[in-house]
Structure 1
Amino acid sequence: MSGNRSTATRVGAGIAAGIATLGAGTAAYAARNLTYDTREAARLASSGMRARAVTTPDGAVITYGEGPARGAPLLLIHGQQVSWADYASVLGTLTRDWHVFAVDAFGHGGSEKDPSRYPALPQTEALAWFVENVVGAPVVVAGHSSGGLLAVRLAADFADRVRAVLIEDAPFFGTEPERARSTYAWLDTFRNIHRYLEAGASAGADSWTRYWLQHSYLRTMFGDRAWQSLVRGPVERRLDRDPASSRSCGGCRPPSTARSRSRPACRTGRATTTCATARCSTTAAGSPDSTRPRPSAGSASRQPCCTRRPTTRTASCWVR
C-alpha cells in the first residue's frame, strides 16, 4: 500500500508541477505580448537610428530609419503590416557593424499610401532609386516575408546596386494565384483588411486592431472562449486603457466610403491628425517634439520632413 501511495504522490506532484509550468508559461506569454510595444520603443530609442524621409522625383514619400555610419550599407525591407521600426529588437546589434538603412515599403509606416505603387515593380524601382540617391553605394539587402520578395526583385533587376541578398521567409510560391487564397496570410490578414476597408464607417470598430480582434481567423484555432480570455479580452482592455497604442497607420479608422481617397484619421495623444502628418525632431527616433506637414513632392535629393525655420539645421521625421 505504501508503494501505491508513493507512486500516487509522485504522479500528483508531477501533474501539479506541469500545471504550474503551463500557467507560468501562459502568463509570461501574455505579459510579453501585451508589453512588447513599450520594450520595442525603448530598444529603438537606444539603437542610434534616426527617422527620416525622402521624396522621389515623381513625388512619392519614403520614410526610413538610418543608423550611424559604422560599416558597409545594409538595407532592411520589412514584411506585411509592419514598418521599419519593427526591426527594433535587432537594430542595436546591427548598427554596431553596419550603416543600416531600414525603409518603409509603400503602403506601410509613413511611406506613400498610393495603391498604384504597391506592386513589386514600382516598389523595387523606388528602392533602386533610394539606394542610388540616398545610400549612395551598393548595399547588402535583407528582406523579410514580402520584403524578401522585393529584395530578390531588386537584386535581379538592379544587380549593380546590390552586393548580397539575405532572404528571410519569403513566400515565393504562396503568392501564386491558385495557392494564395488558402494561405494563412490571406485568411487572417488580406481578406480582413479588404473587408475592413470596404466596410468603411460601418466596420463596427474604431481601429483596425479592434476589427481584427473581432474577425481574426485565429479564433478558429483557439476556440471562441479561449480567444476571448487569452487574446481579445486582454488586448481590448489594453486599448481601452491606452487608445494611443493603436494609433499607428495600421490603427487608422477606415475611410468613410469604400472609394474614399482621403487619408484616414488617426488618434494621437493630443489631437486627431492624419497618417500623412509627420512629427519632426532633431533628437533620436521616437522622441517627437513638434508637428509639421510632409515635404513637398518633386525633390530628387535627400530631404527631411520639415525644418523649424529657414536654416541649415534640419529635423528628422518620425511618422505616427
Structure 2
Amino acid sequence: MTVAITVAVIVVVGSAGLGGYAWNNTTYASRDLQRVQDAGFREAQAVLPSGTELNFTEGPDNGPAVLLLHGQGAAWASYARTLPELATGFHVYAIDFAGHGDSARTPGRYDVHHLGQDVVDFIREVIGEPVILSGHSSGGLVAAWVAAAAPEQVRGLVFEDPPFFSTDPDRMPQQFNYVDLAEPAHEYLQQDAVDDFASWYIEHNGWIGYFGGGRDGIVSYAKSYRQKHPDQPLSLWFLPPNTNESFAYMHEFDPAFADAFYTLAWQEGFDQAATLEKVLQPSILVHANWRITDAGILEGAMTDDDAARACDRMADCVIERVDTGHGFHFEKPADFAALFHQIHKRTTP
C-alpha cells in the first residue's frame, strides 16, 4: 500500500511539473502582451508618404522618444518582455516592418533603402521628434541606414546584434539566416503544393536538424497544429519560449521579404562600411554569442572581428558583449532596457 501511494505521488507531481512546463511554453506570449497592455501601450496604424501602411504600438509619454525596429521574421510584439520597463523612462514606439505582423505587404520594396525611408518618414510624420533608435538583427542594418541618411532624426543608437558585414554578398551564403530563413523562403516560393509558410518553415529551417531523431515528430505535430489553428501563431507545448519565439510570427510573415536576402536584392547598393562611417551619434553595439560550424556557417550575427570593424567605423561607439543568444532583448529584457538609459545620458548635454 505504501509503495502504491509513493508511486501515485510521483505520477501526480510529475504530471503537475509537465503541465506547468507546457503552460509556460504556450502562454508566455499572451502573458507578456497583457503586461504590455497594462503598461499603457496601444496599437495603431500609420499611412506613410510612400503609401505603405505600418502597424505599430505606442506607449505612454514618460520621456524621450525611443523607436524599436524588430528583426526579420518577427514583429513589434517580439519586444513585449522589455516594453513595460522601457516605458517607465521613455516614450516608446515599436513598428511592424512591411511584410511583417499587421503591416502592409510590399513585394518589390523589401530592401534596406525603402525600409529605411519608411522609418525616416515614420519618425517625421508620427513621432515628430528625434529618437533613440534601436534595431535588432536586420533591423540594425536599417537603423544604420536611417542614422546615416537622416542624422537629424536620430539622437543615439542601440544596435542589437546586427549582421554587419556578414550579410555582404560574398558572405551571405555562409550566414545562418541564409540557411535558416532565406533559402527556405526562396524554395517555398518556387512550389505550390504547400500554402502555409509557417508549416514550411518549421520543416525546412536551419535548426530543426539539431533535434536528431525527434525532428520528424516535431514537424508532424507542428503541421497538425497549423491545420487546426490556421489563424493562430504556431505554439509547441514541448518547446521552451526561446524556441517558440523563433517561429511565433511566421504566420504573419511575407516570405518574399526573406527571398530578397536570398537574391541579395535586400542589400543591393548598401555599402555597410561607408554607411557606418556616417553614423556620428552615440551608439552601443550589442554583440551576442556566435560560432562557426564545421560546415563553415556563422551561427550568430557577427564574429568578433565583424563587431570590432563595425564599431571602429562609427564615431562614438562602444561594444556591449552579452552572454545570450541572438534575442538579447527577449532573454534579458531588463539589461536591454538599461542600455537606453546609458545612451540617453550620452546624448544629454
Instruction: Give the TM-score taking structure 1 as reference length.
Output: 0.63
CA distance in 1, matches of 2:160, 2:101: 20
Cα displacement (A) at 1:114: 1.3
Distance in 2 (CA, whole Å) between partners of 1:172 and 1:253 is 23
Q: Aligned with 2:190: secondary structure?
A: helix
Contact kept? 2:101, 2:252, Cα under 8 Å: no
- Decide whether aligned partners of structure 1 residues 45 and 63 sit closer, same or farther in structure 2, where only a CA change above 3 A counts: same
Q: 1:152: how far off?
A: 1.1
Counterparts in 2 of 1:237 and 1:30: CA distance versus 1, 3 Å? farther
Structure 1, residues 91-131: CA drift from partner, whole Å, max 9, x if none? 11111111011111122122231123211111111211111
Q: Rg larger in 1 or in 2?
A: 1
> For 1:120 and 1:30, how far apart are their aligned partners in 2?
39
CA contact (8 A) 2:98 2:106 kept: yes
Q: Which residue of 1 aligns with 2:232?
A: 245
Corresponding residue pairs, total: 228
Q: 1:209 Cα shift?
A: 1.8
Q: How does 1:1-320 map to 2 (within 5 A)?
A: 32-200=24-192, 202-203=193-194, 207-223=196-212, 225-229=213-217, 231-236=218-223, 238-239=225-226, 242-246=229-233, 250-251=250-251
Taking a change above 3 Å as real, the CA distance of residues 43 and 26 of structure 1, as seen in their structure-2 partners, is same
Q: Whole-Å Cα distance in 2 between the matches of residues 209 and 193 of structure 1?
A: 10
Distance 2:78 2:19 in 1: 24
Query: Gapped runs of 5+ residues in structure 2?
Result: 1-15, 235-247, 256-349
Structure 2 residue matching 1:141: 3-state secondary structure: strand
1:34/1:235 contact within 8 Å kept: no
User: Which string of whole-angstrom CA distances, capped at 9 and with x for unpartnered residues, describes residues 245-295 of structure 1?
Assistant: 23897326999xxxxxxxxxxxxxxxxxxxxxxxxxxxxxxxxxxxxxxxx
Root mean square deviation of aligned Cα:
2.9
**What is the CA distance between 1:236 and its match in structure 2?**
4.3
C-alpha distance in 2 between matches for 1:253 and 1:58: 20
Partners of 1:61 and 1:111 within 8 A in 2: yes
AA aligned to 1:52 is A
Write the distance in 2 (CA, Å) between the matches of 1:146 and 1:253.
15
Aligned mates of 1:137, 1:253 — CA distance in 2: 30
1:25 positional shift: 10
Conserved 8 A contact 1:141-1:151? yes
Q: Deviations over 1:68-106 (max 9, x none)?
A: 111110000000111112111111111111101111112
Tell me the percent identity: 33
Q: Identify which range, 135-144 or 38-47, moves more after superposition.
A: 38-47
Once the two structures are TM-superposed, the CA of residue 243 in structure 1 deviates from its matched residue by 3.7
